[in-house]
Structures are given as structure tokens and as C-alpha cells.
Amino acid sequence: MTDVSRRKLLATSATGLVGGAGCLNSESDGDGSDGSGKQNGGDESLVPPARWIPASAGSRLFFSYTDLETVRSHEPILPAETLDEIPFVPHGAGGRVVGRMETEPTFEYVLEFGPEGDGEHYVMGGEFDLAGLDLGDPIDEVGDFERFEAAGASIAASSDTLIVVDPEIGSIDDVLAAGLDGTDRRVDSGGSFEAVLENVGDDTLAFGIVPGSTDEVAVGQSWSVTAEMATYTQVMLGMDTSDVDEDQLESELASESPYDRLDEFSFDIEGDTVVTTGTLSTSEFRYTDSISKHQAGTSRPVRANVSVDVETATQSVTVELTAIGGGHVELRDSGGTQATLTEQGDEATLEYGVGETETVSVVVVGGGEESVFLTETVEF
């Protein structure tokens, strides 16, 4: 029998950001400048997620950020398979626009965000050439940016920043206003998004889901890469931590990926927030992206987070889907798939007998592939 009557776990999966298997990070490699934060106009000290995401991006927000300048600086030590997986151009519409360029760009960072898990807004900083896109004459000028409408996308470009927005989802004017004038930035509203960015906003690889309701859990995850060490952090805000057993949580994390591969990790519980942090050698860092840099724009990443309650008194495991960006979640045990969760708020309870031992897996399925991001062995 397990030594606690009830255990609650929370997990986040991002098939577009998986450190060894799939979660989040902190610990910055610098001050967010020199490519990670400084571009023309606006508040140049802000990292891209804080600067470019407008309040109009939606009440529910997914974002991912890659500091490619840092990645390139550590190419000699990063495993080849990891470098091959890190997307050097954006997914979706942003990837399709970049893919039409005659000259391969050298981006310093790529930021994607939107109300769903497949982006819709793309901001890229660095060196690029718009030649070959056949954009015609610009329809407008905003600061140092020229605006174009082409290929089903709204495009704005300055000498070192390229923005692509799906006009059916968002407004490129709002993105420019946020980045250039600081008008209605999402981060200025405080709340969950600001708190997530405090933990993951300026790291080498970062991802977050911020719900539209304070009743839901906001999550962030990232990896910070230096010449010697890769630091992993996961933050969850809005959790019910009243019955979390810290010793039990530490034991459970130690057997889960990526914690089972980290040299060391620690966690901190304060109020409704849990932050876990761990490290491993940069030469051992593994990254898996569902859309490789060679296939940008051909499919969509699937992201989700869940809560899991293990009740020994009733021999049951209850899983609730608290966020999903496309695809669905399957609950599996030794008998196969026992339940499928498709919508935010869906939950399912698996019941077992006294004395049974079972391994329950939570699997994210979508885009023609699947990712196991939580496996829990239970004894009743």
C-alpha cells in the first residue's frame, strides 16, 4: 500500500518542447539582451515574450520562445541530434513565409504565440532577406517597419525583425503597437502571464500555457543552456497545494522524465505555486520537437496539461484535462486505452481492486504522432 491516502500530480506536455521527455525551465544564460531582447524601438530591455505579445492575443495564451543565438554559441557541445531538432525557423504560417525566401535567414530568436497551441503569431529577430517573396509594394509603414499582405498572412519587416500574423486570428497592428510603443502589452496586465515569464521568459527554450480563468492552472517550462550546464524549470500557478506531501512528491518526480536523468533537482511550494528546477550537463541535453527545422509549417505541435488524483481509499485514478492545444489525451494501462479526453475540463476515473498494482500512462495524440508525458505506477 502506498503511504499516502491521496496524491495529486500535475504535468505539462509540449510535443514541441520536451527536455528528455517533456516538461519546463529557469536560470537565464544572460540578461536577455544581445539578440534575445534588444531590437529596434520600444522597451529594448524586455525579452521578446514580454515585449511583443499584445493584450489582444486572447484570454487563453500559448507561447513558445527559442533563443537561437545562445543555441548557436553552444553548438560544439550540444548533441547533434538535439541541434537537428531545435527549430531554427517558426512553424505554421511563419514557417511557410520563411520557406519561400531565396536566402536562408539567420534568426537570433523565434517567438510564437496565440490562443491555440499552433501559434498564429510569429516574431523573428535577426538577419533575413525578403527577396523572392514577391510581396509587391508595402501597404503601410509603421516606425521602421514596412507592412505587406501576401500568401494569406500579414507581414511586417524592419532591418532586423520579421513579424507574420494570420489575419483571421490576430492583428499585426496590435503586435507592432505592443513591440514599438508598449501599447497594451500582455505582460503589463500582471497575473499569470507575468508570473510565468518571471520563471521562464528569458531562457534558451521556453513554453507556456496561460488560461483565461484564474480557476485554471497556468504552466511554464524552459531549458536554459550554458557552456557547461542545462537547467530545467517547471512552474505551475493556481494549484491546490493543500494536500501535497513534499517527500512523496520528491519521490515521484525522481522516477519521472526528465527528472530521472537530471544530476540534481529541487522544488519549492509557496501558496498556489510550485516551481521545480534541475540541472544536467549540456553535453547530455536532449530536445525533441514534433516539427523539425526541415519540415517547418507541415504539421502542428500538440500541447496539454493535466491533473492526476490517486485515491487509495477508493482504488481509483482520476485524470482531468486542464488545457489542450489540438489533438487529444488518452489514458492507458495494461489493458490498453481506457479513456480519451478531448476538451478542456474533461476527466475520467479508472478504478482498480484492492491489492492491484497498475501503471497508468497519459499520452498526448495529434498531428500523426503521440507522446507519453506521464507514467504513474499505483498500488492499492
pLDDT recorded at residue 228: 94
Q: What is the pLDDT of residues 197-246, one digit of tens each?
A: 998 877 899 988 888 777 778 888 899 999 999 999 989 888 778 777 78
**E strand or H helix that includes residue 372:** strand 369-379
The sign of the torsion formed by the CA atoms of 67, 238, 19, 227 equals positive
User: In this predicted structure, what is the pLDDT of residue 219?
Assistant: 87
pLDDT at position 263 over 80: yes
Q: Name the residue among 30, 112, 125 with its Cα closest to residue 70.
A: 30
Q: What is the mean pLDDT of residues 38-61?
A: 75
Nearest by Cα to 326 from 286, 288, 291:
291
Q: Which three cell numbers stand for residue 343?
A: 476538451
pLDDT tens per residue across span 305-336: 777 888 888 999 998 887 776 678 899 988 88
Hey, how many other C-beta atoms are within 10 angstroms of the C-beta on 106?
A: 12
Is the pLDDT higher at 50 or at 5?
A: 50
Which 3-state string (H, E, C) describes 288-305? ECCCCCCCCCCCCCCEEE
Asked if residue 293 has pLDDT above 50, the reply is no
pLDDT of residue 40: 40
DSSP string, 124-166: EEEE---TTS---S-SEEETTEEEEEETTEEEEE-SSEEEEE-
Could you tell me which of 54, 39, 74, 63 has the C-alpha nearest to residue 230?
A: 74
What 3-state class would DSSP assign to 186?
helix
Percent with pLDDT over 70 in the chain: 80
- Mean per-residue pLDDT of the chain: 79
**pLDDT tens track for 11-20:** 555 433 333 2
When pLDDT is cut at 50, 70 and 90, the band that residue 37 belongs to is: very low
pLDDT of residue 303: 62
- Report the C-alpha gap between 66 and 87 in whole angstroms: 8
Residue ranges and CATH numbers for the domains of the chain are: 6-14+301-379 (2.60.40.10), 27-189 (no CATH)
Q: Say what the pLDDT of residue 307 is.
A: 78
Q: What is the pLDDT of residues 153-209, one digit of tens each?
A: 899 999 999 999 988 888 999 999 999 999 899 998 767 899 899 988 778 999 888
Least confident of 105-114, 222-231, 254-263: 254-263
| Percent of the chain topping pLDDT 90 | 30
Is the pLDDT at 49 greater than 70? The verdict is yes
Q: Please report the pLDDT score of residue 132 as a whole number.
A: 77
